[in-house]
Amino acid sequence: MPRFSQSVSALRSSAIRELMSLASRPDIISFAGGMPGNELFPVAEVEELFRGLDDKSKRAAFQYGPTPGLPSLLESLGGYLERKGLPVKTNRLMVTTGSQQALSILAKAFIDPGDRVLTEYPCFIGAIAAFRSCGADIASIPVDEEGIDIAMLRKEAERADPAKFLYITPYFHNPAGMLYTTERKQQLIEALQGRDIPLIEDDAYGDLWFSEEHLDRLKPIKSLDPEGLDVCYTGSFSKILGPGLRLGWMLAPEAIWEKCELIKQSADACSPSFTQVIADAFIRSGKIDTYIASVRQEYKKRAACMTDALRRHLPDYVQWNEPKGGFYIWLTLPEGADATAILKRAIEGGAVFVTGSTFDPDGTRNNTMRLSYCNNTPGEIERGIPIVAQAIRAVCG
């Protein structure tokens, strides 16, 4: 009998991954995965960019690279982040194999088995998995439409045994879909300053805003560079170019970056040079800006289609957020409702979504559900939402 480690024995398969096997069935409409639409990828643009590279650059794409990332990409990505106001010159930038690796590296840098870490509730399932794999004791703090509950955060921050860090996804939250207000972010900073609780600020969706009126709220906490608070900012090319590139990044203070580089060396030595060359060319060409602008409009249309369908088909007792960007709409059912029972009914009807317990570090709260609109045509949304609504009525009345 294999004697597995305690950390691996604690891991569980993601419910999202299990649901994705259903998505390949032609009779199923999937609102489960947070995946960009395949038809939206910039295939022609990338082919043109790669053909235009010189031989030296093409050959470098096949070679090992430095652990922190190819110097050319670090330069162009650094410029891209500086346009957001991020303090690239006073911090260190690292290219990671997807932002998931950034979270895993930070987890290993901070967590010893039994250590307490803070997350939001609900919380991105990838973060839960990364922290659990290191043996973390996760304490989750609820969010509302403006951000994390500040009273509960202050109570946690004032504990004699402070948590190792706080993890948040403040920009078109996964899964709750909401966008932190500027005031709530400032309150968060004040709650953590001088408490020796670093902040991990995960920004995978911030570029996918639907209205310029929300741009002020999209200013990263990291860009404020607050005194007395170490902020580790993570992001990803997955939603703004393609998840198949497996490229993300981490911008962190020097002392934290140095530990993370050592951890990355032991994990994969370097992220794929091939896709780093592509990402670098995409940024330098300026195509990244026009591409993001185009997909932003497409996701806005899909979000509008889903919200219109929800208004027409959902019962009045279901609460949900009006998306301002990103990929998700979060539904809240009456207390005691079982989203798993609703999911079973929906699958019978031909649609899938993700139940709320998936995003609960305790795995118990299940009167919520996440719907993704990013990977669906308007026609699929129009056919699928009535199936979900019918399943809700069948279980909840």
The answer to whether residue 303 is domain-embedded is yes
> In this structure, are strands 328-332 and 368-372 parallel, antiparallel, or unpaired?
antiparallel
Flag whether 52 is in a domain: no
- 139 in the same domain as 13: no
Confidence at residue 4, expressed as pLDDT on a 0 to 100 scale: 73
49 assigned to some structural domain: no
pLDDT per residue of the chain (397 residues) written in tens, 0 to 9: 787 777 666 666 655 555 656 656 778 999 998 999 899 999 999 999 999 999 999 999 999 999 999 999 999 999 999 999 999 999 999 999 999 999 999 999 999 999 999 999 999 999 999 999 999 999 999 999 999 999 999 999 999 999 999 999 999 999 999 999 999 999 999 999 999 999 999 999 999 999 999 999 999 999 999 999 999 999 999 999 999 999 999 999 999 999 999 999 999 999 999 999 999 999 999 999 999 999 999 999 999 999 999 999 999 999 998 999 999 999 999 999 999 999 999 999 999 999 999 999 998 889 999 999 999 999 999 999 999 999 999 999 8
Domain boundary among 287, 302, 317: 287
Instruction: Using the 3D structure, point to which of 261, 287, 313 is the last residue of a domain.
Output: 287
Q: What is the pLDDT of residue 18?
A: 59
Q: What is the pLDDT of residue 21?
A: 63
The verdict on residue 330 lying in a domain is yes
Domain boundary among 269, 287, 305: 287
Residues 138 and 240 in one domain: yes
**Shared-domain flag, residues 126 and 259:** yes
Same domain, 256 and 315: no
**Does some domain include residue 141?**
yes
Report H helices in the chain: 6-9, 15-23, 43-51, 55-60, 71-82, 98-110, 125-133, 150-157, 182-192, 221-224, 254-267, 273-285, 287-313, 339-349, 378-396
Q: Are 242 and 223 in contact (CB under 8 A)?
A: no
| Same domain assignment for residues 38 and 71 | no
The CATH number covering residue 332 comes to 3.90.1150.10
* 71 and 184, same domain (yes or no): yes
Tell me whether strands 147-148 and 137-144 are parallel, antiparallel or unpaired. Answer: antiparallel
The pLDDT score that the predictor gives to residue 22 is 63
Q: Is residue 51 domain-resident?
A: no
Residues 269 and 294 in one domain: no
β 92-96/116-121 pair status: unpaired
Identify the pLDDT of residue 26: 73
State the CB neighbour count (10 A cutoff) for residue 89: 9
Alpha-carbon distance of 272 to 276, in angstroms, equals 6
**Does residue 36 fall inside a structural domain?**
yes
- What sections of 158-233 are H helices per DSSP? 182-192, 221-224
Whether residue 70 is found in the same domain as residue 177: yes
Domain containing 220 equals 62-287
Query: Quick check: is 57 in a domain?
Result: no
* Total number of domains in the chain: 2
Residues 370 and 224 in one domain: no
What pLDDT, on the 0 to 100 scale, is given for residue 83? 96
- Give the alpha-carbon dihedral of 136, 20, 272, 221, to 10 degrees: -50
234 and 278 together in one domain: yes
- Does 235 lie in the same domain as 100? yes
